[in-house]
Amino acid sequence: MPDNQSAPSALDGLRVLDLGLLVQAPQAAQLLGDLGADVIKVELPGMGDQSRWIPVSPDDRRGAYFIGCNRGKRSITIDLRTDAGRDVFLRLADTADVIVSNFLPGTLDRWGLSYEAVSARNPRIVYACGSTFGPEGPDADRKGADLAGQAAGGLIRRTGPDNPTPVGVTIADHIGSQNMCNGVLAALLVRERTGRGQRVDVSLLGGQIFAQASEYTYTFLTGENPGDVDRGHPLLLMTYGIFATADGYIAIVGVQPPMRKAFFEAIERPELTTDPRFDAPLFTPEQKRAFFDTLEPTFRTRTTADWEQRLRAAGQRYAAVREYTEVAADPGVFENGYLQRVEGADGSSELVVGCPIRLSETPTSPGTTAPELGQHTEEILLEIGLEWPEIEDLRSQNAI
């Protein structure tokens, strides 16, 4: 990255209006903010984003979902359901480059804030909509959330051999946010060529299917579903999976045939190099099961750190299975900017998730704190030309 951290960011000068709830749209907007955009979060007065109401615990009212997906934004409260709120939002949209939302399809249309309505006033607007099942088809108007995306997209069937188990993070939302951000950036590039914005649609279901393109293709080619996860990936019939160690777990990320001898020597099982049961480049499912059964007692004899040292010296591909607290103790994630220490609103040092993208000439600039509900309402309304009497009138109508 350039040493000059005051260099302009990639999206300097662009304004994003974030109408999102929970994760899908808010995280996409946050990534656009990391890339330099001015992100204004539009929230319902008195309520705000639903993620504000998912506390860390009954005794700690801070919201990890809200803080994690909304740092660096400004918050304005507008009741989009009211005529006055709709009108003030349209004035704000006249100044914007991008709108992102993940309301149920048709909601913004009913409030008079459809893509057609906004683009008629601002033809350059990029209007991104996220949904659960997509904007078309028989399920378009069904409510849903991350778990629905994981389930409907087939991911949960791939996570364990017994009871279907969801991934322990909102992975459908996160993938949906990445797809939304990609769509917005593509639409902005097209706008540079044509002068016009466009509508962008992404969904949790579509993102989950795309994320499993290889596995779906296996089914299309064979007519069969992939097998169950059994300590590894059902389609990667090799030394690719998780082993328990003396104090934790380690992932062995595929041992290619030229590296097998060094691998077996590193784990002190050189006799397996010539074992005829395991000499094929790819195993059958039965061979893989037998191979893992053979190796499991060996990996339990040493700690994860011991295995990391031996496998690294042997040039193998591996990774310790880590908890978040262990990741946060890794200096490498800070050197790459994946986690960052920032100064909080009260001057204290806070740890935040950084931007996963590095740009050599236009550095990213992750925001620090998430806004209080409506913290910047008057500031933003004054920016778009409203006078104080107009602001007070909007407040008297409960429109802001």
Which residues are identified as catalytic? 173
Cβ pair 44, 19 in contact under 8 A? no
Contact (CB, 8 A) for 35 and 14 = no
Using alpha carbons, list the distances in angstroms from residue 84 to 41, 244, 396. 18, 61, 11
User: Please, what sign has the CA dihedral across residues 63, 69, 72, 78?
Assistant: negative
- Are residues 221 and 201 in contact, defined by beta-carbon separation less than 8 angstroms? no
Cα 283 to chain center, whole Å? 34
265-274: long-range contacts at Cβ-Cβ below 8 A with a sequence spacing of 24 or more? 265/314, 266/310, 266/311, 266/313, 266/314, 266/316, 267/295, 267/298, 267/299, 267/307, 267/310, 268/298, 269/295, 269/298
The SS3 of residue 358 is coil
Tokens of 23: 């994760």
- Of 17, 194, 178, 9, whose CA–CA distance to 89 is shortest? 17
For 319, other C-beta atoms within 10 Å of its C-beta total: 13
Give dist(CA 235, CA 257) in Å, integer.
Answer: 17
* DSSP per-residue string spanning 225-277: -----SSB-TT--SSEEEEE-SSSEEEEE---GGGHHHHHHHTT-GGGGG-GG
Report how far residue 50's alpha carbon sits from residue 48's, in angstroms, rounded to the nearest whole number: 6
Residue 157, both tokens = 């069937």
Judge whether 129 and 198 are in contact, CB under 8 Å: no
**What six digits make up the tokens of 13?**
């000068």
- Short-list 75, 52, 49, 47, CA closest to 63: 52
**CA of 398: how far to CAs of 143, 263, 381, in Å?**
27, 68, 15
